[in-house]
């Protein structure tokens, strides 16, 4: 009844009854390491297929409620609420969850049909679908269509963090003026909140603050936490960051402002045309993500006494041509070059900024007995340890990418040129 041999064409079987039958017939305990990963990927395609069906059904319930609007005394907005009440009761969901599920399914089926089709066919999973839908809600349907059309073919190759970053960048560049207006409205709406928790603790939140200020403060706090940890502080990194944050609020507020020099280095990727006001192309604030051109120009204008990294790249191929760093005493040239060429950890899916990473020798120094810049790659401490503990291998390939080989015999293409994570490491 059960089979430990996976069909050779497993990757070509479309999700649906046939794939469900294959997966149900497998003897999972006796699959090889390599086939276990293939079966997992097939499961993921099948789950996506079912999730698309679920979204279709929820939207159909909403359509049935809307069909009754023409005969009843309530309008179409009430129909969505009615459908959510029905769905919530059927699936035992809270009102908030039911309304969220209903709204998402209606948005997906009615306004993002190409994304729905990709989910139904198992080409992308629900996590990526939610990013594609939610991250384009703030732009016009025309802009959303262009962004999705451009990203959808490669969406499955990106982590949700990478995908969200790409969407943000494309949304800014598709309509820079609209992006500027959204930014200015949000800055106008900035607010401070102290929110109590059920546990008796509280959250301190600053909403809609300028990204370059938030990013510089976050990175400064992280560096200070590392210093304390290196001195033997027993607190966890999260505890240290929170405690430093509170200390910053209580003791480091100087003369009505926090001086910019307190927060160290600036790491931004921006074109000369944007800085000169000749283009409104988005910039990249490393460790945060895409920012509109106005923010990039503000950063360049006001951050006068900090170290800057710069990167010159070919506008057609987007490949790095040259780069450097402005500071009185430069960092070692090899680390500088590796960080410029690869702004994030090169392990598949990781976006830890390279400035916070180790430098990995692709060929162990004990064997080569010399260090070559081309042989170096930034890796966060976690993935650096994983690579050497479990025997991951990687090699450079065309276009500045890397081909990683896992212990289970699978290969993954990744790029250390991916923008770093938008949250503190």
> Do residue 141 and residue 284 come from a single domain?
no
Non-local CB neighbours of 280 within 8 Å, separated by 6+ positions: 176, 177, 180, 274, 292, 293
- This prediction has a pTM of 0.72
How remote is the C-alpha of 344 from its chain's centroid?
12
Can you state the percent helix, strand and coil of the chain, rounding each to 5? 55, 15, 30
Q: Which residues pair with 413 in a beta bridge?
A: 403
Report pLDDT for 327.
40
Inside any domain, residue 405: yes
Residue 415 has a pLDDT of: 67
| Domain shared by 239 and 202, yes or no | no
| Residues 209 and 288 sit within 8 Å (Cβ to Cβ) | no
Domain identity same for 406 and 384:
yes
Averages of pLDDT over runs of 10 residues in the chain (425 residues) are 79 95 93 94 97 96 80 57 89 91 94 96 96 93 93 92 92 91 92 85 90 87 91 92 86 51 60 75 78 79 56 59 45 71 85 84 56 72 87 82 88 72 45
Residue 335 lies in a domain: no
Based on the fold, state whether residues 193 and 167 are members of the same structural domain.
no
CB contact at 8 A, 126 and 51 = yes
Close Cβ partners of 319 (under 8 Å, ≥ 6 residues apart): 313, 399, 400
Say if residue 85 is in the same domain as residue 163.
yes
Question: Closest by alpha carbon to 406, among 347, 342, 366, 343?
Answer: 347
Considering the domain architecture, whether residues 19 and 165 belong to the same structural domain is answered as: yes
**302 domain residue, yes or no:** yes
Q: Is residue 139 helix, strand or coil? A: coil
Dihedral sign of CA atoms 245, 289, 326, 359 in order: positive
424 found inside a domain: no
pLDDT in the model for residue 397: 81
Q: Is residue 148 part of a domain?
A: yes
- Domain match, 67 and 138 both: yes
For the chain, the first-to-last Cα distance in angstroms comes to 48
Q: Are residues 295 and 257 in the same domain?
A: no
Q: Please give the pLDDT value at position 322.
A: 55
Distance CA 416, CA 377 (A): 8
Q: Is the dihedral of CA 168, 173, 178, 182 positive or negative?
A: positive
With respect to residue 372, please indicate whether it lies within any of the assigned structural domains.
yes
243: buried, middle or exposed (CB in 10 Å: 19+, 13-18, 0-12)?
middle
Contacts of 175 (CB under 8 A, 6+ apart): 139, 140, 143
Instruction: Say if residue 363 is exposed, middle or buried (CB neighbours under 10 Å; 0-12, 13-18, 19+).
Output: exposed
Position 229 in a domain: yes
> Could you tell me if 22 and 141 lie in one domain?
yes
Give a yes or no: residue 3 inside a domain: no
With contact defined as beta carbons under 8 Å apart, do 275 and 300 qualify? Answer: yes
Query: Of 123, 147, 174, which residue is a domain's last?
Result: 174
23 and 112 together in one domain: yes
* Gap between the Cα atoms of 97 and 85, Å rounded: 10
Residue 414 CA to residue 346 CA, distance in Å, equals: 7
Based on the fold, state whether residues 24 and 113 are members of the same structural domain: yes
Full residue range of the structural domain in which residue 200 is found: 180-209
Q: Are residues 247 and 205 in the same domain?
A: no
Number of domains in the chain: 5
Nearest CA to 129 among 116, 110, 113? 116
DSSP structure class, residue 264: -
Per the CB < 8 A criterion, the answer to whether 335 and 394 are in contact is no
Phi/psi of residue 203, each to 5°? -110, 135
């Amino acid at each position: 009844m059960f089979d430990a041999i996976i069909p050779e064409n497993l990757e070509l079987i479309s999700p649906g009854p046939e794939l469900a039958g294959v997966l149900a017939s497998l003897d999972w305990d006796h699959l090889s390491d390599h086939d276990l990963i293939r079966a997992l990927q097939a499961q993921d395609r099948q789950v996506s297929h079912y999730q698309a069906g679920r979204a279709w059904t929820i939207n159909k319930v909403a359509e049935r409620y809307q069909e009754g609007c023409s005969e009843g005394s309530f309008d179409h907005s009430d129909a969505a609420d009615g459908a959510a009440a029905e769905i919530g009761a059927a699936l035992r969901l809270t009102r908030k969850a039911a309304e969220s599920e209903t709204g998402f399914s209606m948005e997906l089926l009615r306004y993002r049909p190409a994304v729905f089709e990709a989910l139904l066919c198992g080409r992308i999973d629900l996590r990526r679908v939610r990013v594609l839908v939610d991250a384009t809600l703030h732009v016009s349907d025309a802009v959303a269509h262009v962004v999705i059309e451009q990203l959808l073919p490669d969406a499955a190759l990106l982590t949700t963090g990478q995908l969200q970053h790409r969407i943000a960048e494309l949304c800014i560049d598709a309509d820079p003026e609209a992006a500027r207006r959204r930014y200015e409205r949000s800055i106008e709406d900035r607010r401070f909140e102290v929110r109590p928790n059920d546990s008796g603790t509280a959250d301190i939140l600053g909403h809609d603050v300028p990204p370059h200020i938030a990013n510089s403060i976050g990175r400064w706090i992280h560096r200070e936490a590392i210093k304390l940890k290196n001195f033997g502080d027993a607190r966890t990194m999260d505890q240290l960051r929170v405690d430093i944050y509170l200390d910053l609020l209580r003791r480091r507020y100087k003369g009505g402002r926090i001086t910019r020099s307190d927060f160290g280095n600036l790491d931004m990727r921006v074109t000369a045309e944007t800085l000169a006001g000749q283009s409104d192309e988005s910039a990249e604030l490393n460790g945060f993500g895409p920012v509109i051109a106005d923010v990039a120009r503000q950063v360049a204008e006001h951050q006068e006494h900090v170290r800057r990294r710069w990167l010159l790249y070919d506008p057609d191929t987007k490949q790095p041509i040259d780069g450097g760093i402005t500071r009185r005493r430069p960092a070692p040239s090899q680390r500088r070059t590796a960080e410029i060429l690869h702004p994030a950890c090169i392990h598949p899916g990781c976006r830890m900024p390279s400035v916070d990473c180790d430098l990995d020798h692709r060929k162990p120094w004990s064997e080569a007995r010399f260090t070559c810049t081309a042989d170096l790659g930034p890796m966060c401490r976690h993935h650096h340890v994983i690579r050497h503990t479990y025997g991951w291998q990687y090699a450079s390939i065309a276009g500045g990418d890397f081909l990683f080989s896992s212990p289970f015999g699978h290969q993954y293409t990744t790029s250390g040129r991916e923008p770093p994570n938008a949250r503190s490491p």
